[in-house]
Amino acid sequence: MKWPPALIIPSALEDSQQFIDGTPESFICAITLRVMKEPALSVKSGRTYEREALQEWVEKKGTDPLNPSARMDVDDIAPNFAIRDLIEQHVAAVVRLPVLELSLIHI
């Protein structure tokens, strides 16, 4: 499966408690408690997590993080394009850059 590149969130913004507090809860990974850069959908539960954190969880425990009775493997993980686009728009609005310009920033 082809994954889009990870979102780039400026580190000063990413470490800002004000940014975290103003970010919709659905953009925050339940595992890392950080804004997701690579939103990954658990196709078993429909929940979204940070890709790397979800893959590590599934490889170690074989379950959905918020539903331990839902057995899953890494093939049950897919990119969540809709959430990724919304997070990208949110970050762009916070830093007041057009989405295209934000995707060109390499930090």
Residue 57: pLDDT band by 50, 70, 90 thresholds? very high
Which token pair is 106? 């390499």
| Cα angle for residues 24, 32, 38 (degrees, 5° grid) | 70
Question: Measuring CA to CA, which residue among 100, 97, 94, 103 is closest to residue 14?
Answer: 94
Q: In this predicted structure, what is the pLDDT of residue 104? A: 45
Model pLDDT for residues 65-88, shown as the tens digit of each residue: 998 888 999 999 999 999 999 999
Element (H or E) spanning 99, and its range? Answer: helix 99-104
CA distance 32 to 100: 27
Is the pLDDT score of 107 beyond 50? no
